[in-house]
Amino acid sequence: MPSANVRGAQPSADRRLSTLVRHLLPSSARTATTTTTTSAADSLEAFPTMASPSSVFAGLAQAPEDPILGVTVAYNKDPSPMKVNLGVGAYRTEEGKPLVLNVVRRAEQMLINNPSRVKEYLPITGLADFNKLSAKLIFGAESPAIQENRVATVQCLSGTGSLRVGGEFLARHYHERTIYIPQPTWGNHPKVFTLAGLTVRSYRYYDPATRGLDFQGLLEDLSSAPSGAIVLLHACAHNPTGVDPTLDQWEQIRQLMRSKSLLPFFDSAYQGFASGSLDKDAQSVRMFVADGGELLMAQSYAKNMGLYGERVGALSIVCGSADVAVRVESQLKLVIRPMYSNPPIHGASIVATILKDSAMFDEWTLELKGMADRIISMRQQLFDALKTRETPGDWSHIIKQIGMFTFTGLNSDQVAFMRQEYHIYMTSDGRISMAGLSARTIPHLADAIHAAVTKLK
């Protein structure tokens, strides 16, 4: 025979469930429940948001694919053996394979073999060595801003995270909440800054007629921007066009921006990856730092170290004085803490290991130049192939542009034709990743371009 305690357990449990029902159900349902003999369990089952076969999210519309990442989704579904993916913004070898740098593998192995390494949380600002070395890499070891402790640097989640943290910091603490971005620019820029709380405007940058820089339009638009506005600048290898200002043009941009107190926000995703020289690719940034003015800098190690999936980046803010830099860092912590608390340790440790060891640094620069040189070679080979086919039009912009991407000038109909007939995948604006090409695939691409511009205007 069961004990009294067991016999009394069921009524007690039902009372607790009834109390829970009274708290969960709307007031009208509570009244109905108390005036009927319906059990508490039945009441819970009847409540429409609990254990219902339908979802509270059933009304959501299917979101569209990301216009860049969606290219790879479509490519992966294509069974054709001739397919070529020129949409992905990641380096590929001549064999079309992802590349892990030898120096990265060595650094990673060193970290794994170190028994003293632990998996503790990093500080909110990230790995201290990584931050110091990142600032020196982009600004130069002899930079006055670094020597005077005027730089506040925090480790972020690659370039995207650095832009978002910087955007939210400006939305909270800067008097002008409008940011001007080049037209066109990386597709994520307007989304990142809008969600960060800034108002996004554009300035002219690319001239479709020349497939080069609309420098006059750029100057006119920045001249008409309100004093103090934020201006996003691609440090080098502009994405998606591959069109960069000359040093003389950069100097004119700098003078104009400083005269109007426009705040530069640099995005550096390709340092060393564009020309093969870390210093050359940082010249535009260092021109602005040298004049003593303030700026923001978002860095990424996705391309130049091939650490795409490690999400390694840094945000640096060059301030007017050392004491301001200390306060800026304190406020950056308040942006980061509720966003992702603190950054991951592994990728930043790889970068720091390479940057602080002179032999490994030299090895990295050689591998980096190898990647840049292969992309430059792909540009020349594609240009030569189109010239050989006597493809209509001037294709010299392919070898004049720089970095991972080429803005071909192909229109959306031509892009669609090349996907349908030649299984070549790129974004609808005609941007192609030169890093996705090889000596094997260039003839196929050249044939496709020739057919597209011949048959479709």
Active site residues: 186, 267, 303
Q: Which region holds residue 3: left if phi is over 0, alpha if psi is between -120 and 50, else beta?
A: beta
Is residue 424 within 8 A of residue 86, CB to CB? The reply is yes
Angle CA 115–118–122, to nearest 5: 145
Q: Contact 87/426 with Cβ under 8 angstroms?
A: yes
Angle 438-439-445 from CA coordinates, rounded to 5°: 75
DSSP string, 49-105: TSS-SS-TTTTPPPPPPPTTHHHHHHHHH---TT-EE----S-B-TTS-B---HHHH
End-to-end CA distance of the chain: 91
Which of left, alpha, beta for 92 (phi over 0: left; psi -120 to 50: alpha)? beta
Q: Which of 38, 41, 11, 37 is nearest to 24 (CA)?
A: 41
**Three-state SS for 286?**
helix
Burial class of 390 by CB neighbour count within 10 A (0 to 12, 13 to 18, 19+) = exposed
Residues 296 and 291: their CA atoms lie apart, in Å, by 14
Indicate the SS3 state at residue 157.
strand
By DSSP bridging, strand 212-213 and strand 206-207 are: antiparallel
Alpha carbon distance 231, 191 (integer Å)? 16
Q: Which residue has the tokens 């066109």?
A: 184
Strand, coil or helix: 266: strand
Classify residue 283 by its DSSP letter: H
One-letter amino acid for residue 293 of the chain = G
Closest CA to 237 of 201, 272, 202, 286: 272
Q: Give backbone dihedrals phi and psi of 271, rounded to 5 degrees, phi first.
A: -60, 125
